[in-house]
Structure 1
Amino acid sequence: MREIVTAQVGDFANFIGSHFWNFQDEMLGLAADPYGDPLFKTRSLNMDVLYRTGETHQGTITYTPRLLSVGFQGSLGSVSSKGTLYNGGSSAPSEVVTWAGNVTTHASEPQKKNLFLQSLYQEERDAPLMNGVNGDAKDFQNEIQDTDIVSCLDEGVQFWTDFSKVHYHPQSLYEVNGLWLDAQEFDNYGSGRDVFRENLRGEEICDRLRFFVEECDRVQGFQFIVDDSGGFSPLAADFLESVSDEYTNTPVLLYAVRGPSSVMNLCSRKQTVVRNLHDAVSFSRLSSFCKMIVPVGLPFLSRSKASTFLNIKDENPYHCSAVYAAALHSASLPFRMEPLGPTADSSDVCGAVDINGIVQMLAGQSRQNMVAILDSAMPGPSLTGRWDEQSFLANLHPLTAEVAEDVDDLQAVESMIVHGAIGSGGRNASLSEVRNAIPGAYGRATTRPMFCHLSVARCPLPIPLPFPSIFGNLVGEHGELLGSPITGSASRGSLDVHSIPMAARMRSSCAILPFLENRLQNLRKFGIERGSLGTELLRSWGFGKDEVEDIGETLSKMVRTVDPHCEISSDSD
């Protein structure tokens, strides 16, 4: 078995992770439901790749994500860092026995569970009664309750745990001791420079990761989701450096994610300089400790083509993170597909590939620290009909910022995943239909990659109850794109849309060049050139002149790797 260990570092990364694990939990529930959609009852997707089996002290079998989440102290809201399965006891501090002086206790009121978390607790407590004789009445009650839950979440998610329906292992949730939730003061590289190394935090974090790695049979790689827009970036870079030292031959796939708040408050030139230098330093260091880095996060998702059929509030991380999580879910499906065997014709998936395979495919033997672009179609278009007029590929839009459009790159390599696709007559398309349609779409495209690997799964993306109401009124119950809008509310949620087809693509292309060049040019302009505004700032972050020039050279190499014909001097003057 080829396991994946997932790490989420930072507040927005955990928002994305919360949605991601909700998707997995929903798939597990639908697969176990005897009355559920047969499309989700596939044995070809091995959930053990992402999950671990355990047992409580009481002998209860558990099935929890193989996950380490790192966040602010207090960022778990009403959820205990010990989880709810293992009954770890009270988290109150023990009596101080080594201090004879006065002791002052500062206590705050615990966060109250919102309506959704209350319903989860009630559902688990009443689980044995679910098959009672009053089933119809209970279903009606639940429908009303679900409406209230959706309204509650749409109006007031504060923490990523507010909408998480997943049980976590006690080793999974790590709050950085002494680092309280204050994103405004933790918004640049310097603010998190020494956090990992102080107070044995690094050892504690690495020990927790080691717990999950050591119980794996044959780990295929690490999946890191890192909030790179603030002080968690240096913490993550130090963490990744430790991982690369300890697990030398284990590939790391890193999603460097960026929330809506990262561009909301740039009101002055000084703030802009700080942000530009942070972006250059953060990207350079993070990319140094992984096999492949995928930047994810648009400045204004609601204005992008990726939101054509969505209603997004850019200032709401609960909204934006749902879109990015859906794309990450799709991108991860090939990692847990079972390879095709003798019964391939009856399989529900094809195109299995592991993390190392994706890295080698997109990066090749000659490229290290590969930068990939993530594209998504949410919901994915039908393979036939009016939405196919401009080709299936035209509906894929980048979730990576600052990329060039319509670039003709003869060396481009792509890995695409299509799942839950809708075929003719509105029915679920077969694997062969998808495999025949996608090459046809590439044949009609004006630009074509050198190579494209295709993975296909018949199961769509399930929409769990705590998913935000972000679908527009052209999206039907199963994600089909309608010819005319549904009357009523402009936004539809999980009570209206039960599943959607998805398409996602990771690609190696020179279209990433503007992203890289902007970071290199900003570093030179604000941090390296004589009299630069940011020289003193970088020094306060702990970077001397030589280190800054090394960062510049790293970015220069990445630019030259993507475009060998690009004439960029590596001189610091």
Structure 2
Amino acid sequence: MGSEILTLQLGHYSNFVGAHLWNIQELSFQYGSDNPSEINHDVLYREGITNKREVTFTPRLLLVDLQNSLGSLPEQGDLYEPIPDCSKENVIWEENSIEVQAGPSKIKNKFQRDLQDPVQSTKVLTKNYNLEETVNVWSDFLYARFHPRTVEVVKQYQHCNENTPFDVFPLGNAVWKTRQFSEDFTDKIRNYIEECDNFQGFHFLTDCTNAFSGMTSSCLEYIRDEYDRKSVLVFPVLPSSYPNINDQIEKSQSILNDSVRVINLALSFNQFDMYSSMFVPLSVGSKGWRQPGPERKFNNLKYNHTLPYHSSAILAAALDTITLKHRVKNSSFTLRDLIADLTINERKASAASIQIPFQIEENSDLLECLDNWNGPLYQSITPSCNLGIRRLMQHITLRGIKEEKLKKPMEKVGKQIELPAYRCNTIEEMLSLYLSYTTEATANNVTVVHSPLSVKTPFPKFFNNNGSNKQENFPIESIPLLAGIHNGSEIGDMLESLHTEARKIKIAKFNQFSSGGIDKDDYEECLDNLFTLRENYEDNYLL
């Protein structure tokens, strides 16, 4: 029986994360393999047929972005119909009556050109395209192909237009309320859901520092009205860098921009608490409210946090891994089960973590690796939230380690046999035992998937093999990885820090919000709700 999920992506940075996520999904397919995939791809994908009777397998996905944000990607895609050549179109008007205006040229980078070349397309996964220098929008590194109904463009606003920025919560609300947008978008949601045999809920990826926060809130309210019994898991994503401000006048504007972001975040978190089943903020910036703050550090990873192409890849790797629990075959665990485990006492906000890559030596085993592990097992990727080791509810997923690497065989066991962990017979048992020793009063749920994370092109080449440059001669194609979702008192600290920042702001000074229908009383109510949510994370409430 199916257990389908519909994914929605709203906003440009969310689509950066989504592009990596769908690339990872595509590269995890195993065609004609003697070792079938552990992952049930039908959860996130749908089968279709083109007009030429060709079978397709595309993401069950709806995404939204602004005008001029798609790069060379056609709005309807090219999977079902070829891109029309305007020069060959027949028109019925007289030639002298026609005025031709050329739009901005959409030049494809080398990666995208090779994808369209029947010969080169078979080689793209093994080539290095130096995408750091050629990626401007998320479609520049998109390997996956979409269904024609996937992409929705907001016609009223242009990407990176400083004169009419799409930057405040009410603007997103207003776009949703336009009849053309809301009817078209909700029709697409309904069409996807009607195709499903056993639809279980939604994954949301959304920008939450700009007007897409308002659009997402309106969409969530619609979903809660129409599909109240379905689970809704929201991943608000925050960039890890904003444009540098040098000029003194621009610095003044930057302070205002920072405040606008905080207001958008407060309003959207309040709505996520009201209309989602659970939300998990994501960023590789350690602070994330007015400014992202210093980037998170990962061993054996040298990434440029100012590049959305890099930072979004880390978030996508985490997302793909932490959602495996309700996407693996031969499991009855659902999205609803995940949410039920982590939202006790109305704790709807959770945190996420990652260890990328999970460091295990080629000639080592998991027991030796964990026995010699120094420091935290994972790094938080939720802003203003440093995860502790006590009183947590957490789901941990480890992927990419085979059972034969569990421990030394009896003929080579040595001193390992003296360790309690040597009695473990599976990776799941051993990791669960390790967590029971290293966390206090914590409920741990462990998932193990043996297939690693594929990091072939177009995934960034930012891995560092213990300081060496081996990857230049031996490209890394897959990695073991650990990721998790956590709920504990530290999430209350995150909410308190956002509440503190938002409380400093006088909403009446920001006309963009008041003219959009958000007055002082609305903002005060929002702050009160955030404070109430924060109180749910007091230790004396639970565990």
**TM-score normalised to the size of structure 2?**
0.84
Which runs of at least 4 in structure 1 moved beyond 6 Å after TM superposition? 91-97, 422-431
Superposed displacement of residue 75, structure 1 = 1.5
Q: Distance in 1 between matches of 2:230 and 2:102?
A: 43
Aligned to 2:440: 448
Would the alpha carbon gap of residues 470 and 80 (structure 1) be closer, same or farther in structure 2, given more than 3 Å must change? same
CA–CA distance in 2 between the matches of 1:307 and 1:65? 30
**Distance of aligned partners of 1:470 and 1:33 in 2 relative to their CA distance in 1, 3 Å threshold:** farther
**Aligned-partner Cα distance in 1 for 2:161–2:537:** 34
Which residue in 2 is equivalent to 1:162? 140
Structure 1 distance, partners of 2:170, 2:534, is: 25
| 260-269 or 501-510, larger mean C-alpha shift | 260-269
The one of 296, 306, 317 aligned to 1:315: 306
User: Offset at 1:389?
Assistant: 4.8
Tell me, in whole angstroms, the C-alpha distance in 1 between the residues paired with 2:27 and 2:85: 30
What is the distance in 1 between the residues matched to 2:85 and 2:225?
A: 33
TM-superposed deviation, 1:2: 0.4
Q: 1:280 aligns with which of 266, 269, 273?
A: 266
| 8 Å CA contact retained: 1:19, 1:325 | yes
* Residue 355 of structure 1: how far off its partner (Å): 0.8
In 1, Cα distance between equivalents of 2:374 and 2:56: 41
- Structure 1 residues 298-344: Cα deviation after superposition (integer angstroms, max 9, x where no partner): 3269955542221111111000000000000001111111235xxxx
Corresponding position: 1:241 with 2:221: yes
Written as runs of structure 1 = structure 2, the 5 A alignment for 1:205-354 is 205-262=185-242, 267-268=251-252, 269-299=255-285, 304-339=295-330, 353-354=333-334
Do the aligned partners of 2:65 and 2:153 also contact (CA within 8 Å) in 1? yes
Secondary structure at the residue paired with 1:322?
Answer: helix
CA contact (8 A) 1:292 1:371 kept: yes
Percent identical residues: 25
Distance 2:173 2:65 in 1: 15
State how 1:400-415 maps to structure 2 within 5 Å: 400-406=382-388, 408-409=390-391, 412-415=392-395
Determine the C-alpha separation between the residues in 2 that align with 1:221 and 1:90.
36
Contact 1:469/1:494, CA 8 A, preserved across alignment: no
Query: What amino acid is the match of 1:75?
Result: S
Q: Tell me the amino acid that sits aligned with residue 220 of structure 1.
A: Q
Which of these residues, 367, 370, 380, is aligned with residue 398 of structure 1? 380
Q: Distance in 2 between matches of 1:57 and 1:422?
A: 42
> Do residues 550 (structure 1) and 525 (structure 2) align?
yes
In the TM superposition, 1:20-419 aligns within 5 A as 20-28=21-29, 31-32=30-31, 41-87=35-81, 90=84, 106-123=101-118, 142=123, 150-182=128-160, 185-198=165-178, 200-262=180-242, 267-268=251-252, 269-299=255-285, 304-339=295-330, 353-364=333-344, 366-367=345-346, 370-382=348-360, 384=366, 388-389=370-371, 391=373, 394-406=376-388, 408-409=390-391, 412-419=392-399
Over 3 Å counting, the alpha-carbon distance change for 1:470 and 1:213 in structure 2 is same
Corresponding residue for residue 460 of structure 1? 452
Alpha-carbon contact 2:80-2:148 (below 8 Å) kept: yes
Superposition deviation, residue 378 in structure 1: 0.5
Secondary structure at the counterpart of residue 313 of structure 2: helix
Asked if structure 1 preserves the Cα contact closer than 8 Å seen for 2:60 and 2:192, the reply is yes
- Equivalent-residue separation in structure 2 for 1:69 and 1:550 (angstroms): 31
**Quick one: which amino acid aligns to residue 500 of structure 1?**
I
Give the Å deviation of 1:564: 6.8
CA RMSD of aligned residues (A): 3.4
Residue equivalent to 2:13 = 12
1:436 counterpart (409, 429, 433): 429
CA contact (8 A) 1:5 1:66 kept: yes
Match of 1:479 in 2: none
Distance 1:426 1:442, change over 3 A: closer
Code of the aligned partner of 2:152: Y
**CA, structure 1 residues 213+494, in 2 after alignment: closer, same or farther (shift >3 Å)?**
farther
Tell me the residue number matched to 1:500: 479
Q: Distance in 2 between matches of 1:224 and 1:246?
A: 16
From the superposition, tell whether residues 232 and 406 of structure 1 become closer, same or farther in structure 2 (CA, over 3 Å).
same
SS at match of 2:397: strand
Q: Decide whether aligned partners of structure 1 residues 119 and 391 sit closer, same or farther in structure 2, where only a CA change above 3 A counts.
A: same
Aligned length: 507
Q: Hey, what's the Cα distance between the residues in 2 that align with 1:524 and 1:504?
A: 33
Shift of 1:121: 1.3
CA 1:183–1:284: 2 relative to 1, 3 Å: farther
Equivalent position amino acid for 1:466 in 2: P
Which structure 1 residue ranges, 5 or more long, are not aligned? 131-141, 341-351, 475-484, 567-573
> Quick one: which amino acid aligns to residue 140 of structure 2?
D
Partner of 1:62, secondary structure, is strand
Shift of 1:267: 3.5
Contact 1:64 1:167 in 2 (8 A): yes
1:90 shift after superposition: 3.5
Q: CA deviation at 1:473?
A: 3.1
The separation in 2 between residues aligned to 1:166 and 1:428, in whole angstroms, is 40
In structure 1, give the amino acid aligned to 2:31.
A
- Secondary structure in structure 2 of the residue aligned to 1:470: coil
In 2, Cα distance between the equivalents of 1:245 and 1:96? 46
Residues 62, 151 of structure 2: 8 Å contact kept: yes
Shift of 1:247: 0.7
In 1: Cα distance, 2:202 partner to 2:56 partner: 22
User: The residue matched to 2:304 in structure 1 has which SS?
Assistant: coil
CA offset digits 1:212-254 (Å, max 9, x no partner): 1110011111001001121111111111111111111111000
- Give the match for residue 416 of structure 2: none
Q: Equivalent residue of 2:476, what SS?
A: coil
SS at match of 1:90: coil
Distance change in 2, residues 1:433/1:302 (3 Å)? farther
User: CA–CA distance in 1 between the matches of 2:9 and 2:318?
Assistant: 16
* Counterpart residue number, 1:477: none
CA distance in 2, matches of 1:121, 1:302: 39
Displacement of 1:557 in angstroms is 1.7
The CA distance in 2 between the partners of 1:354 and 1:202, in whole Å, is 29
Please say if residues 285 and 296 of structure 2, whose CA atoms lie closer than 8 Å, have aligned partners that are also in contact. no
Cα displacement (A) at 1:372: 0.7
In the aligned structure 1, how far is the partner of 2:328 from the partner of 2:108?
36
Greater shift, 275-284 or 187-196, is seen at 187-196
Deviates more, 1:510-519 or 1:270-279: 270-279
Higher mean alpha-carbon deviation, 184-193 vs 396-405, is at 184-193
- 430-439 or 65-74, which deviates more: 430-439
Change (3 A) 1:263 1:118: closer
